[in-house]
Amino acid sequence: MQRQPVVLVTGASTGIGAALARIFAAEGHRLALVARSEAGLVALADAIENTGKPRPLVLPYDLTRAESSGLLSTQLTAKGFEPAIVVNNAGFGLVGQAGTLDRAEQLRMIDLNVRALTDLTLRFLPSVVRHKGGVLNVASVAGFLPGPGMAVYYATKAYVISFTEALAQELAGSGATATALCPGPVPTGFQDRAGMSLAEMPKFMMLSAEEVARAGYRGFTAGRRLVVPGFGNKVASLAKFLPRQLVLPSLQRMQRRRTTPSRSFARS
């Protein structure tokens, strides 16, 4: 049985994921939307369908659960679809000192930001290559540096960048591509749920979810390995070349100013 190609978008209910889904739909792609929030996915599917585009598949799965990727794959196959493009956007952050944060929650963050992203990429790579499609992994400028105050989150994004760039090289000549999208601060529900304030962030670094999504889509379709939206974030990414003894204390002070003590959790 020949399966129809879809763009699989995780973390699609809000923010950058929803913005990317809308762009791919507008460009004529059939979508499969994944997130924990079924209500959010249904609302987005309704909105896309109302534009005259095919209604996206709604797949409400919690990707922190190890079995979810397999269940998702089985459901897609049963419906006669397979991913030609995989957009791994789902992720969450924990704010605070690593030694004082909940250990189980930090491991769940690794499960989502690293394991699920890797699982879905590798699981669907054969169909991606067959369709000469690609993988778009949403990382962060945080991935270019260690991040005291969000140590595990920054480390997970460093993994995403490294994995994606290596995968892009391995795919060279196959007709498929891999792109890491590395936004800076984006005003979405992520910061609100984390108890983080963007007031201390330079305005020149901030872009909307829609601006980030457009930059990511352009870079992905151009076959770029790395996309850092916005001039300010490109400059900030160069901090990776500065001495760590200068960068680390500055990052820690910035993180403390951006944190509201009563909240420390965010998930998309």
Annotated catalytic residues are 153
Max intra-chain CA distance, the chain:
58
* CB 7, CB 83: distance < 8 Å: yes
Residue 226, beta-bridge partner list: 180
* CB 75, CB 31: distance < 8 Å: no
Q: How far apart are CA 42 and CA 39, in angstroms?
A: 5
241, with CB counted inside 10 A (0-12, 13-18, 19+), is exposed
110-142 burial by CB neighbour count: b if 16+ within 10 A, else e? bbbbbbbbbbbbebbbebbeebebbbbbbbbbb
- Site of tokens 């892009």: 168
Return the H-helix or E-strand segment holding 8.
Answer: strand 4-10
* CB 30, CB 4: distance < 8 Å: yes
* CB 257, CB 200: distance < 8 Å: yes
